[in-house]
Structure 1
Amino acid sequence: MLTLRRGRVTAVVSRAEGLARIEVDGSPCVAYPRLTGPVALGDDVLVNVQARELELGSGGFDVLYANMTRGLDLTPATGAHVIKLPYTPLQAAARHAEEDRELPETLGGLPVVCCSLHSQVAPVCAGIGAGARVAYLQLPGGALPVSLSDTLRELRSRGVIETTVAVDACVDGDVHCVSVASALLWCAAEDFDIAVCAIGPGVVGTGSSFGHGGLAAAWAAQAAHALGGDPILAVRASQGDARERHQGVSHHARDIIRLAEVTAAWPRGVESPSGIAVEEVDVDGWEEACAGLPLSHMGRDATADPLFFAAAFAAGRAARGRLV
């Protein structure tokens, strides 16, 4: 069941493209103006408080559900008729890229970096470096709104990511696509050099082998492989995670490799993991390449967990090496 509260906007803390950080009756909250309309101080709002009340790791804030003051009678985007989150209280129409152009039959070798966590995206893009046309594809498995990510805003401001694609149930991208397969084919049609696939911030998890949102990387990898792309896995690996299942190569990465045909990139100079085949990649200078980027995983930065970020960087550099 939804847990909703009615309240009043008592502060507007900050605004960014597609996102407003506000307070409702003094509690932190996020609003997505392109979904629920503009928001201002004093507005009468309905807020979903469930994640914060459950004290979830990525749920330290509420989410504006409806703005009773200025968010009623909003109209869908021009020409939109494909529904996101159909038959739920949040259903809304969005124009999808498949409606506007014919897609190719194959990816023609397009490098596709597959991430199981959003925190891998910044080091992956650092590994790709400047001068390549990169599309970011967000898949369900974490946060659904693309606009929640401050990391993406930073990467776009640096010109590292050109376009964001909201895939399947994800929302609020530059482009929307119904499936990861059609999203990848759209990238090929638009002549992108590399596609980076990941889930949004946060991850659905149950502690089980296949009950986690990171498996989105497997679906992306398998689609890329079947369509003639070149899927590369950003291996989730850690030196700093206290949980046994995530020490060294995480069970998340091993699960993905079991399910998909994918190349697992690995930083050269680090002992190769047992039980999986890897492509060793030179990651010299990764710390300098990542300098100034938002590097954080479970509260750990690059000094606290260098393997996590170096492994992701390796995937980006491997993808860049595929370009001729």
Structure 2
Amino acid sequence: MTWREGTVVEPGRSWHGAAEWWVDCDGERMRALAYPDLVGEIAVGARVLLSSTAVDRDLGTGGYLFVVAPLDRLPPPRTGPGHMVKARYTPQQTMVLGVDEQESPHHHTLCDAQSVEGMPCVVADLHSALPAIVAAARHRSPELTIAYIHTDTAALPLAFSRTAASLVDRGHIETITAGQSFGGKYEAVNVHTALLTAKHVVGADLAIIVQGPGNIGTGTPWGFSGTAVGEAINAINALDGTAIATLRVSGADARPRHRGISHHSLTAYTKVALTPALVPTTREAIDDETRASIEKSYPLLEATGRLTLTKVTGIRKALEQSPVPLRTMGRGLDEDYASFAFAGAGGVLAADIVLAKKNSNTE
């Protein structure tokens, strides 16, 4: 870990739970990110201790230094209900009120919860899939209540995601942070309790399970954080949900292992997931070359006997009208349309399942 000391010189953007600041570090102007819930409020002129590890290694953190603490004063102590510690045994561990712990008003509800009763649950590898799934689902049915479950295999603070903050501000999602991640409207011990919270506390029509920004991959067959989507499929089925496994695809990624269907999806869904899932697919507006590179891997998915490929349409217009910018690995909708289309297909399929169930209940 590497450290720097800096002086705050100018505010940048801010969103729920996070604030950008420009800082002077030995005469160099740099961008830093502070989480006010952890470090207190920062002001121009403040001296701050910064973590520069990711920037020094040129990692994908958005180019941020991170404010560890103000140097001139201690942040005010925070008190409140809750005994669940997240980011445990790190210097910035934080105590939250778990949605199902004894002090929570939802404790008794979750004491009895054992099933999500068929609720469609969409999983995706990359955080960039989240707005595409939400946009497509809400385009199909604007009145849907959607719970976003932020897992702990990438960014632990939900506040790091401007995408999630924007979707919350628009009333498009309710947030649940699972495992070691924190900062959601509801704090859950794991993905299982997060799913039960989505169904019985949020009252969600569907849930989306996606890690935050900053996934890791080593270029090895098993060394990537996206294996968690396979584990999520197993959790969904353990709780009687309807698992929807979106494919990570690309027609533009320079890395061969991510062209067509990424090896991340193939490994997670054929080797880690041991229970059934629907796999939404689409041909809509996808060029012939990209479509062929994707479809050549379909037999690997079907050979499991657990994965049901399901064709979906009606995605393009929804993605074009997304209220949140669509970007993945620096590429936008027109540069890598297939990536967003296959994510959006999960939202359409989930919405169709919800609508079909509601229609059957009214007949």
Tell me the equivalent position of 2:8.
9
Residues in 1 aligned to 2:328 and 2:149: alpha-carbon distance in whole angstroms: 20
* 3-state SS in 2 of match to 1:173: coil
Tell me which residue corresponds to 2:49. 46
Give the aligned partner of residue 301 of structure 2: 276
Q: Identify which of 129, 138, 155 aligns with 1:120.
A: 129
Instruction: Answer whether contact 1:29 1:64 (CA < 8 A) is retained.
Output: yes
Could you tell me how far 1:158 is from its partner in structure 2? 2.8
Q: Is the 8 A contact 1:198 1:216 kept in 2?
A: no
Q: Which position in structure 1 is the counterpart of 2:256?
A: 244
The structure 2 residue matched to 1:294, chosen from 308, 318, 325, is 325
Q: For 1:53, give the aligned amino acid.
A: D
- Report which of the two has the higher share of helix: 2
AA matched with 1:17: H
- Assess, with a 3 A threshold, how the Cα gap between structure 1 residues 135 and 215 changes in structure 2: closer, same or farther: same
Match of 1:311 among 342, 346, 350: 342
Residue 288 of structure 1, CA deviation = 5.3
Q: CA deviation at 1:313?
A: 0.5
* Partner of residue 168, structure 2: 156
* 1:71 CA drift (Å): 4.0
Q: Which stretch of the first structure deviates more once superposed, 286-295 or 165-174?
A: 286-295
Whole-Å Cα distance in 2 between the matches of residues 14 and 204 of structure 1? 26
Q: Deviations over 1:110-156 (max 9, x none)?
A: 11110111000011001111210011110012211111111112222
Tell me which residue corresponds to 1:88.
90
Deviates more, 1:241-250 or 1:206-215: 206-215
**2:178 matches 1:167:** yes
Question: TM-score if structure 2 supplies the norm length?
Answer: 0.84
- The change in CA–CA distance for 1:112 and 1:70 in structure 2 (over 3 A counts) is farther
Where in structure 2 are the equivalents of 1:169-248 lying within 5 Å?
169-190=180-201, 191-248=203-260
Cα-to-partner distance string for 1:223-243 (whole Å, 9 max, x where unaligned): 011110011112100000010
Q: Secondary structure at the match of 1:276?
A: helix
The percentage of counterpart residues that share the same residue type is 31
Aligned residue in 2 for 1:322: 353
Give how far 1:289 is off: 4.9
Pick closer, same or farther for the CA change 1:114–1:215 going to 2, 3 Å. Answer: same
Deviation at 1:219, TM superposition (A): 2.0
Paired with 1:123 and 1:214, the residues of 2 have a C-alpha distance of 18
- 2:123, 2:209 within 8 Å by CA — same for their partners in 1? yes
SS in 2 for 1:166: strand
Q: C-alpha displacement at 1:186, in angstroms?
A: 1.1
- The aligned residue for residue 57 of structure 1 is 60
- Map Cα deviations across residues 151-171 of structure 1 (whole Å, 9 max, x no partner): 11222233221x111111112
Distance 1:124 1:211, change over 3 A: same
Distance 2:353 2:318 in 1: 22
Find out whether 1:139 has 2:155 as its counterpart.
no
Provide the alpha-carbon RMSD of the alignment. Answer: 1.7
- Cα offset, 1:73, TM superposition: 4.6
2:315–2:345 contact (8 Å) kept in structure 1: no
**If the length of structure 1 is used for normalisation, what is the TM-score?**
0.94
On the 8 A contact 1:38/1:70 being kept in 2, the answer is no
SS in 1 for 2:325: coil
Does structure 2 conserve the Cα–Cα contact (< 8 Å) formed by 1:224 and 1:231?
yes
Matched residue, 1:74: 77
Q: Is the Cα–Cα contact under 8 Å of residues 140 and 216 in structure 1 kept in the other structure?
A: no
Question: 1:267 aligns to what?
Answer: 282
Instruction: Determine helix, strand or coil for the equivalent of 2:14.
Output: strand
Whether the 8 Å CA contact 1:166–1:175 is kept in 2: the answer is yes
| 1:293 CA displacement | 2.6
SS of structure 1 residue aligned to 2:128: helix
Unpaired runs of at least 5, structure 1: none
| Deviation for aligned residue 1:255 | 1.3
Q: How far apart are residue 284 of structure 1 and its match?
A: 4.5
Give how far 1:13 is off: 1.3
Q: 1:180 to 1:265 in 2, by over 3 A?
A: same
SS at structure 2 position matched to 1:144: coil
Alpha-carbon distance in 2 for matches of 1:285, 1:241: 20
Q: What secondary structure sits across from 1:5 in the alignment?
A: strand
- Does residue 41 of structure 2 align to residue 29 of structure 1? no
In structure 2, C-alpha distance between the alignment counterparts of 1:292 and 1:83, rounded to whole Å: 34
Q: Letter of the 2:130 partner, please give it.
A: V
Give 1 or 2 for the bigger CA radius of gyration.
Answer: 2
CA contact 1:142–1:213 (8 Å) conserved in 2: yes
